[in-house]
């Protein structure tokens, strides 16, 4: 409460806001920062990235580089979707709480089916899971929107861009 009072008093007296930063410390495997979002840089972002990687969330292009960019935001959103919390890419108290308690995820085994756009459209619960991983409406139907999302994902992952969810694309989706 005294920290709040100091902040409040400083704000009111000078007319100029003071900069309040989250703690910059690591405590083993627990994340100790209040809010991290796209555009942030520093050791707390590196720690977040290492935590995501240790839990099985891929950061293939930049890894734990200390910069919260698009790749880290995508990994955070994927984590949030997996935890069934708001997938906004902002790491606040709820996401930190889930990160602190999360166990490394195990890969979902490849079901042996090539999921692709064809007529009639393919339908299955696995397609719904693919759609959730890709961030598109999960209607369990492999239509043009899903194919486009798969192609975009394959391009970002440096995979063959064919719009087909086969063993390699599946593995990247469900590491």
Domain borders along the chain are 27-101, 122-173
Q: What is the CATH number assigned to the segment(s) 122-173? A: 1.10.101.10
Condensed to tens digits (0 to 9), the pLDDT of residues 53-97 reads 888 787 777 888 999 999 899 999 989 988 889 999 999 999 998
Task: Give Cα separations from 50 to 18, 55, 63, 65, 76 (angstroms).
Answer: 30, 9, 8, 9, 12
Task: Give Cα separations from 80 to 89, 91, 95, 156 (angstroms).
Answer: 8, 9, 7, 20
Condensed to tens digits (0 to 9), the pLDDT of residues 5-29 reads 554 555 444 444 444 444 455 555 5
CATH 1.10.101.10 fits 27-101, yes or no: yes
State the Cα–Cα distance between residues 164 and 110, nearest whole angstrom. 13
pTM over 0.85: no
3-state secondary structure 150-174: HHHHHHHCCCCCCCCECHHHHHHHC
**CB burial class (10 A; 0-12, 13-18, 19+) of residue 98?**
middle
The two domains 27-101 and 122-173 share their CATH topology (first three levels equal): yes
């Amino acid at each position: 409460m005294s920290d709040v009072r100091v902040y409040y008093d400083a704000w009111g007296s000078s007319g100029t806001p003071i900069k309040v930063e989250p703690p910059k410390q690591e405590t083993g495997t627990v994340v100790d920062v209040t809010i991290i979002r796209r555009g942030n840089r520093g050791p707390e972002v590196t720690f977040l990235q290492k935590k995501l990687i240790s839990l099985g969330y891929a950061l293939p292009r930049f890894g734990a580089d200390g910069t919260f960019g698009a790749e880290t935001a995508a990994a955070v959103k994927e984590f949030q979707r997996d935890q069934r919390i708001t997938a906004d890419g902002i790491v606040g108290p709820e996401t930190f709480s889930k990160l602190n308690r999360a166990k490394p995820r195990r890969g979902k085994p490849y079901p042996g089916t090539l999921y692709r756009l064809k007529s009639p459209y393919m339908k299955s619960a696995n397609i719904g899971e693919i759609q959730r991983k890709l961030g598109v409406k999960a209607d369990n139907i492999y239509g043009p929107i899903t194919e486009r999302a798969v192609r975009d994902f394959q391009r970002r992952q440096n995979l063959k861009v064919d719009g087909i969810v086969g063993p390699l694309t599946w593995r990247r989706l469900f590491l």
